[in-house]
Amino acid sequence: MIGNPVSRRERCLEIADEPDGLLFADGYDSAILGIANIEGVDVVAYDSAKVISILRRRDGMTRDEAEEFFDYNIGGGHFGERTPIFTRPVR
Protein backbone atom coordinates (compact mmCIF):
# COMPACT_ATOMS: atom_id res chain seq x y z
CA MET A 1 0.00 0.00 0.00
CA ILE A 2 1.37 3.40 -0.95
CA GLY A 3 0.86 6.37 1.38
CA ASN A 4 -1.05 6.51 4.63
CA PRO A 5 -4.40 4.75 4.90
CA VAL A 6 -7.36 7.03 5.57
CA SER A 7 -8.57 6.81 9.16
CA ARG A 8 -12.19 6.07 9.99
CA ARG A 9 -12.56 9.61 11.34
CA GLU A 10 -11.13 11.11 8.15
CA ARG A 11 -13.44 8.96 6.04
CA CYS A 12 -16.46 10.21 8.01
CA LEU A 13 -15.36 13.78 7.39
CA GLU A 14 -15.09 13.00 3.67
CA ILE A 15 -18.56 11.48 3.28
CA ALA A 16 -20.63 13.67 5.63
CA ASP A 17 -22.80 16.37 4.06
CA GLU A 18 -21.71 18.89 6.73
CA PRO A 19 -18.43 17.58 8.18
CA ASP A 20 -17.67 20.64 10.29
CA GLY A 21 -20.45 19.82 12.73
CA LEU A 22 -19.69 16.13 13.30
CA LEU A 23 -19.09 15.09 16.90
CA PHE A 24 -16.72 12.23 17.69
CA ALA A 25 -16.21 10.14 20.84
CA ASP A 26 -12.48 10.66 21.36
CA GLY A 27 -10.46 7.50 21.84
CA TYR A 28 -12.92 5.21 20.08
CA ASP A 29 -12.16 5.74 16.38
CA SER A 30 -11.66 2.01 15.79
CA ALA A 31 -15.32 1.50 16.78
CA ILE A 32 -16.64 3.92 14.12
CA LEU A 33 -19.06 2.23 11.72
CA GLY A 34 -19.67 5.25 9.52
CA ILE A 35 -22.21 8.02 9.11
CA ALA A 36 -25.93 7.74 9.88
CA ASN A 37 -28.51 10.25 8.81
CA ILE A 38 -31.09 11.07 11.46
CA GLU A 39 -33.92 13.25 10.17
CA GLY A 40 -31.62 14.91 7.64
CA VAL A 41 -28.66 15.35 10.01
CA ASP A 42 -25.45 13.34 9.61
CA VAL A 43 -24.05 11.82 12.81
CA VAL A 44 -21.18 9.45 13.51
CA ALA A 45 -22.27 5.87 14.22
CA TYR A 46 -20.29 3.64 16.58
CA ASP A 47 -20.44 -0.04 17.48
CA SER A 48 -21.17 -0.07 21.22
CA ALA A 49 -19.71 -3.58 21.63
CA LYS A 50 -16.40 -2.36 20.20
CA VAL A 51 -16.43 0.67 22.51
CA ILE A 52 -16.96 -1.64 25.49
CA SER A 53 -14.15 -3.88 24.23
CA ILE A 54 -11.83 -0.86 24.04
CA LEU A 55 -12.71 0.09 27.62
CA ARG A 56 -11.96 -3.43 28.81
CA ARG A 57 -8.66 -3.72 26.95
CA ARG A 58 -7.36 -0.16 27.34
CA ASP A 59 -8.61 0.60 30.84
CA GLY A 60 -8.59 -2.88 32.36
CA MET A 61 -12.30 -2.85 33.22
CA THR A 62 -14.42 -5.92 33.75
CA ARG A 63 -17.35 -6.39 31.36
CA ASP A 64 -19.80 -5.07 33.97
CA GLU A 65 -17.61 -2.03 34.71
CA ALA A 66 -17.16 -1.26 31.02
CA GLU A 67 -20.90 -1.60 30.29
CA GLU A 68 -21.81 0.64 33.23
CA PHE A 69 -19.19 3.22 32.26
CA PHE A 70 -20.37 3.16 28.66
CA ASP A 71 -24.05 3.50 29.58
CA TYR A 72 -23.48 6.40 31.95
CA ASN A 73 -20.59 8.33 30.38
CA ILE A 74 -20.64 7.60 26.66
CA GLY A 75 -23.85 6.15 25.28
CA GLY A 76 -26.06 8.15 27.63
CA GLY A 77 -24.64 11.55 26.71
CA HIS A 78 -26.54 14.07 24.62
CA PHE A 79 -24.73 16.97 22.98
CA GLY A 80 -27.34 18.31 20.60
CA GLU A 81 -28.60 17.06 17.25
CA ARG A 82 -25.10 15.94 16.16
CA THR A 83 -24.63 13.57 19.12
CA PRO A 84 -23.10 10.30 17.88
CA ILE A 85 -25.22 7.16 17.92
CA PHE A 86 -24.15 3.81 19.32
CA THR A 87 -25.48 0.61 17.78
CA ARG A 88 -25.94 -2.67 19.63
CA PRO A 89 -25.23 -5.92 17.83
CA VAL A 90 -28.01 -8.45 17.39
CA ARG A 91 -27.20 -11.67 19.22
Domain containing 44: what range?
A: 8-86
Q: Determine contact, residues 23/83, Cβ cutoff 8 Å.
A: yes
Region for residue 11 given its phi and psi (left: phi exceeds 0; alpha: psi -120 to 50; beta: otherwise): alpha
Residue 1 lies in a domain: no
For the chain, the residue count is: 91
Note the pLDDT tens digit of each residue in 16-71.
Answer: 999 999 999 999 999 999 999 999 999 999 999 999 999 999 999 999 999 999 99
Whether residue 91 is contained in a domain is answered as no
Residue 35 lies in a domain: yes
Domain count, the chain: 1
State residue 35's pLDDT score.
97
**Coil, strand or helix: which one is 52?**
helix
Q: Does residue 3 form part of some domain?
A: no
**Rounded distance, CA 83 to CA 65, Å?**
23
Would the pTM count as exceeding 0.75? yes
Q: Does residue 37 lie in a domain region? A: yes
